Amino acid sequence: MLNFEFKNPTKIIFGKGEIEKISREIPTGAKVMMLYGGGSIKTNGVYDQVIHALKAFEVVEFAGIPANPEYEVLMQALKVIKEEKITYMLAVGGGSVIDGVKFLSAAAVYQGAHPWDILTKSIRTEVGLPFGSVLTLPATGSEMNSGAVITRAETQEKLAMGGPGLFPEFSILDPEVVKSIPKRQLVNGVTDAFTHVLEQYMTYPAGAHLQDRFSESILQTLIEVGPKVIENPADYEAAANFMWSCTMALNGLIQKGVPTDWAVHAMGHELTALFGIDHARTLAIIAPSHYRYNFEAKKEKLAQYGQRVWGIQEGTVEEIATIAIAKTEDFFHAMEIKTTLGEYTDDYEGTAEKISKRFTERGWLGLGEHKTLSPSDVEKIVAMSY
């Protein structure tokens, strides 16, 4: 096992009807900005619950943070934060709203002239403007981690940022919100969380038995409850297990003491930036090719996953590893997720070269758990995904 430090300061308040507890978590006298997306919270009752819980506070609303939170929209929110002297933010939404609020938390204290530099220069935020969240869509884990991914349509970029100051102070996870989520987003949530685990597990054996079993148990739980929640989002037990699995998949716990990959996400983000494909679907496009391309380096963990998660007992390491990749693809297909780029766009020619060039320009010369995946490898993997 590798050395590690672990601190996760986010307080989780989990369960039915817990949204009303917001008022206990925000400091008395705070001037609160409540931020949300395109309006789903207005039709599923979440908006009313939050407004009711905030009645003791002065509240400024900011609506319209889009999926793949857009820099230009966030800059409008930043202006309001400064004009209104906001002291606390509350994100009410999925990963996009929470990530948008993390950017604002960083940008509100940033002294430089161009907040976009926070993303391009990887400026880490040690202490940001404080915020909490009410999660409405289990998927990203953003509710309990310190990372964010921000999009800039003008330049077709989608870049990550983070820092220890960007954990939500608290997050309310009420599984009842799941019942209003459309199928497309539920499927995305299962796929995103599943791939988060793979990014932190599908590397090489590191002698971290507990972390491996944490990861395998999250994958098994998603395989068990994913189809149930897609079939019936009002199934509270399935929704609760789905929600907690998504949070646990990316709150830092399973990555401690082990090597991590994250190349699938790096390539996937480019597909969202270039084609607007939903984040989770870009991962399903890239992951099978990534595991086939890096088969030799990853075959031991692929086989362990095949045995423990998919129950494949017969065969050599190579055979089990090969079946495990196919099982992963089948799992995505069973949720009606398409796994090749050509099924999302006819305009895919040249994508591999374009992504490889961008990685070279950014100096991303060695991705993956061994830091050896070059832009030319990336080009081959993306081309395999057409």
Task: Give the residues lining the site for ligand NZQ (CB under 6 A).
Answer: 37-41, 44, 67-68, 93-97, 99, 136-137, 139-142, 145, 147-149, 177, 180-182, 185, 188, 192, 250, 265, 279
Give 188 or 322: the residue with its C-beta nearer to Zn ion: 188
Binding mask 180-209 for Zn ion (x = CB under 5 A): ------------x-----------------
Q: Does 261 bind Zn ion (CB under 5 A)?
A: no
Closest residue to Zn ion, based on beta-carbon distance: 192
What residue 141 binds from Zn ion, ligand NZQ, none (CB within 5 to 8 A, per partner kind)?
Answer: ligand NZQ
137 near 186, Cβ under 8 Å?
A: no
What residue 136 binds from ligand NZQ, Zn ion, none (CB within 5 to 8 A, per partner kind)?
Answer: ligand NZQ
Give 1 or 234: the residue with its C-beta nearer to ligand NZQ: 234
Q: Give whole-number Cα distances, 211 to 145, 216, 255, 260, in Å.
A: 18, 9, 7, 12
Q: How far is the CB of 152 from ligand NZQ (least distance, A)?
A: 12
Cα 90 from Cα 100, distance rounded (Å): 11
What residue 145 binds from Zn ion, ligand NZQ, none (CB within 5 to 8 A, per partner kind)?
Answer: ligand NZQ
Alpha helix stretches (DSSP H) within the chain: 22-25, 40-43, 46-53, 71-84, 95-109, 117-120, 183-201, 209-231, 236-249, 263-275, 279-293, 295-308, 317-334, 351-362, 375-384
Residue 90: φ, ψ to 5°: -125, 115
* DSSP assignment letter at 337: -
10 Å CB burial of residue 275 (0-12, 13-18, 19+) is middle
What residue 212 binds from ligand NZQ, Zn ion, none (CB within 5 to 8 A, per partner kind)?
Answer: none
H/E element holding 270?
helix 263-275
Reading the block at residue 201, the tokens are 């597990």
Give 99 or 192: the residue with its C-beta nearer to Zn ion: 192
Q: How far is the CB of 168 from ligand NZQ (least distance, A)?
A: 10
Q: How far is the CB of 278 from ligand NZQ (least distance, A)?
A: 7
Q: Which residues bind Zn ion (CB under 5 A)?
A: 192
